[in-house]
Structure 1
Amino acid sequence: MNAIVLAGRRLALLNRARIYTCGITPYDVTHLGHAATFVWVDTLARVLRRCLRVEPVVCRNVTDVDDVLDSAAMRAGTRSDDFAAFQEFLFEGDMSALHVNRPDHEPWAHRYIGPVIRLAEALLESGAAYERSGTVYFRGADVPARAGVDRATALRLAAEFGGRPGDTDKDDPFDVALWQATEHDHQTWPSPWGQGRPGWHAECVAMALSVLGVGVDVHAGGADLRFPHHAYHAAIAETFTGVVPHTRAWFHVGAVTFGGAKMAKSTGNLVLIADLLAKHPAATVRMMILDRPWHESWDYRPELLDAATDRVRLLHEAAARPGPSESTAVDEVRSLLAADLDVPAALAVADEAGGDAARLLIAVLGLA
């Protein structure tokens, strides 16, 4: 039986794997922390195709309806849609240069206003949501506990990610907006409750359900999205569809820090992909990202690129060797990659065996 292990969970598959990836909010340039997630998802898709003969169906959304995007566009003195389109163009250029394959589906949030409204209407009808002052709230009091997050941490993260736990219109601090009433200087659309815009979590639910159906095999994104975003996505989708679990396996990619701090424009510690690729081949940058456990956080240091350069060279040298005529190394590489994407172990086998095993790993890691 075809199966892949992700974070210790065995995921049996037939001939397709539906992967939903939380994509970009197109308001700024792409840094290494963003890219690491998308390189790992690209590698997961390659492993499924080349090692398990399972066809990945990848949906990576674009969150082009967002408060942060609106604010960035206002600072730039331009329309939100024009600003988002330009930032998305830069992002796609970075992904192409990194050998990240285009997703099969790339929905934009602004095209799913209607599905978000229908989602909110259905949850209102079932009693899982309520409307107040033009905003429709999802009842989320139990979401932190379901996600295994204590109350104090959940309150902090909810505030950090714009969940407004102090909103006095809410019945509970952990209720979240499916539809947000109009606010000054933000994009708005008509709805049964007045002018407004979709809530962040509702956007992703509407896009995932519309494109991939009632459930997904793998839901991918940065580890920082585990709560609140992924927790609410699952809760809202499961409440709407009645299908549990909505997500069969989570792929929470470890964060990339620099100087011990999370990469952020406010701290000035961004490592831009365009800058890295101006000095290093894409294979070197990908190897730096991939030669480690996918779920562990790590701190960027420039010398890691030198080590990655050497690893790429050694792997290509191994690929140039003929390799043994009777070798199980290719099967071993496939098995290691299917076992939680164990790239370091697969590299060790490919380096020693050379030949077809090394050539397979070069293709799966996107180093060619």
Structure 2
Amino acid sequence: MTFESLARRHPASGATAVTIGGRQVHLLDRARIYACGITPYDVTHLGHAATFVWVDILRRVLRVLGVEPIVCRNVTDVDDVLLTASRQAGIAYEHFAAFQEFRFAGDMAALGVRAPDFEPRAHSYIDPVIRLAAALLETGTAYARAGSVYFRGRGVMTRTGLNESDALRIAAEYGGRPDDPAKEDPLDVAVWQAAEPGHPAWDSPWGPGRPGWHAECVAMSGSVFGVGVDFHAGGADLRFPHHAYHARITEAFSGVTPYARAWLHVGTVLVDGRKMAKSAGNLVLVDELLSSYPAAVVRLALIDRPWNESWEYTRAALDLAAVRLEQLHRAAGRPIETRSSEVERIRLLLADELNVSGALDLAVETGGRAARMLVAALGLA
């Protein structure tokens, strides 16, 4: 794409716009960003970090463009995976979650990721989930059975373009319980899950139980931002089922579409061709990386690429990032006059799909004020 076409899409004067995932989002003075946060049951690995560093980049780019970002990043501290991990550790789940959240916050701070403006925790949003379930029952988009409330999810699969067998397989992998005999349809999901032995439970009009995963995020994002957001961010692996159900449940509740104006589905980090995950045994831990590489090098390794593409982690990627960072810092130190047009070209690149690589190439070539602006904008000082 030429700079002339970039300028047409993102004019320096008039409307401020950011293009994410092919969607041009015009903005006034603020932008609402909801980031799917952690389930605090384990240490932070590079796959987690990629998502939250990219959210931080979006936040910083918006500020460069004169828009104030408001970030809400939730904590899913009511979850079956968390309960299992806490039992294995022999620690009460709420204490276990708080400890893991503390470790995560330290890793994010070390990477230069700014704390969110709002950080709701699922356990504090039980009443909003109950009100959500009651409203969905009134509209007929949900039904109550055996102490649970289920959202009718057949249409969610249709919107994603998945076939039924793939949708059911993925739903099962993410704890969606498609084989639950109480459901009318295997693609329905629990907004309110009836109590089970050994699980935390709260009172509700349908009996004791706990909120469903998707409903927790709907309640938290809706309570903070209202019926919609400008950007919803999370890992690409959450596109279905979590993000798809989140959007559809919110729209069914509010009657307003679309829930999100744009989606930042961050590409997956791979090791030896497999998604980085505890189950795969291929985790690269953030705290271990930071013992060998400066935080700015790790940040740059994560963002010197298209945000929505999966990529293979190697040590060579970090070494290349160290070289690129050195080039940028040297360019920033060159005592030359930088034309305002060159700074504006970097802003345009960042506004168009968060093109960090293109902005970095231009800053290294140009040097001076343009490079210094990029160092500050990307948190690479």
User: TM-score per shorter chain, which class?
Assistant: over 0.9
Q: Cα–Cα, structure 1 residues 327 and 130, in superposed 2: closer, same or farther, change >3 Å?
A: closer
1:209 alignment partner in structure 2 = 222
One-letter code of the match for 1:154?
Answer: A
Q: Which runs of 5+ in 1 are unaligned?
A: none
Residues 189-226 of structure 1, C-alpha deviation per residue, up to 9 Å, x if partnerless? 11111111000000000000000111100000000000
1:315 alignment partner in structure 2 = 328
The within-5 A match list for 1:121-160 is: 121-160=134-173
Q: 1: distance between equivalents of 2:272 and 2:341? A: 42
Of 96, 116, 121 in structure 2, the residue corresponding to residue 103 of structure 1 is: 116
Residues 5-31 of structure 1, C-alpha deviation per residue, up to 9 Å, x if partnerless? 001111110000000000000000000
CA RMSD of aligned residues (A): 0.8
Q: Cα–Cα, structure 1 residues 111 and 354, in superposed 2: closer, same or farther, change >3 Å?
A: same
The within-5 A match list for 1:240-259 is: 240-259=253-272
Of 287, 302, 326 in structure 1, the residue corresponding to residue 300 of structure 2 is: 287
Q: Cα–Cα, structure 1 residues 190 and 361, in superposed 2: closer, same or farther, change >3 Å?
A: same
2:6 alignment partner in structure 1 = none
Tell me if the contact between 2:304 and 2:357 (Cα under 8 Å) persists in the aligned partners.
yes
1:361 aligns with 2:345: no
Tell me if the contact between 2:192 and 2:209 (Cα under 8 Å) persists in the aligned partners.
yes
Of 206, 219, 223 in structure 1, the residue corresponding to residue 236 of structure 2 is: 223
Tell me if the contact between 1:259 and 1:299 (Cα under 8 Å) persists in the aligned partners.
yes
Q: 1: distance between equivalents of 2:333 and 2:101? A: 38
Tell me if the contact between 1:323 and 1:353 (Cα under 8 Å) persists in the aligned partners.
no
Shift of 1:324: 2.7
1:337 aligns with 2:337: no
Q: 2: distance between equivalents of 1:295 and 1:155? A: 24
2:192 alignment partner in structure 1 = 179
2:341 alignment partner in structure 1 = 328
Q: 2: distance between equivalents of 1:251 and 1:62? A: 18
Shift of 1:323: 2.8
1:28 aligns with 2:42: yes
SS of residue matched to 1:105? coil
2:274 alignment partner in structure 1 = 261
Q: 1: distance between equivalents of 2:367 and 2:270? A: 34
Q: 2: distance between equivalents of 1:88 and 1:344? A: 32
One-letter code of the match for 1:130?
Answer: Y
Shift of 1:264: 1.5
One-letter code of the match for 2:187?
Answer: F
Q: Count residues in correspondence.
A: 367
Q: 1: distance between equivalents of 2:336 and 2:108? A: 33
SS of residue matched to 2:157? helix
SS of residue matched to 2:33? strand
Q: 2: distance between equivalents of 1:29 and 1:176? A: 28
Residues 42-93 of structure 1, C-alpha deviation per residue, up to 9 Å, x if partnerless? 000000001x100000000000000000000000011000000000000000
Q: 2: distance between equivalents of 1:135 and 1:214? A: 24
Tell me if the contact between 2:151 and 2:191 (Cα under 8 Å) persists in the aligned partners.
yes
Q: Normalized against structure 2, the TM-score is what?
A: 0.95
Tell me if the contact between 2:30 and 2:67 (Cα under 8 Å) persists in the aligned partners.
yes
Structure 1 consecutive aligned stretches of length 4 or more whose deviation exceeds 6 Å: none
One-letter code of the match for 2:351?
Answer: A
1:350 alignment partner in structure 2 = 363
Tell me if the contact between 2:337 and 2:369 (Cα under 8 Å) persists in the aligned partners.
no
One-letter code of the match for 2:43?
Answer: V
Q: 1: distance between equivalents of 2:339 and 2:376? A: 21
Of 89, 94, 103 in structure 2, the residue corresponding to residue 81 of structure 1 is: 94
Of 272, 277, 285 in structure 2, the residue corresponding to residue 272 of structure 1 is: 285
One-letter code of the match for 1:49?
Answer: R
1:94 aligns with 2:100: no
Of 296, 307, 319 in structure 1, the residue corresponding to residue 309 of structure 2 is: 296
Q: Which runs of 5+ in 2 are unaligned?
A: 1-14
Shift of 1:327: 4.6
Of 49, 55, 60 in structure 2, the residue corresponding to residue 46 of structure 1 is: 60
Shift of 1:325: 4.6
Residues 316-352 of structure 1, C-alpha deviation per residue, up to 9 Å, x if partnerless? 0000012335352110000000010111110111001
1:191 alignment partner in structure 2 = 204
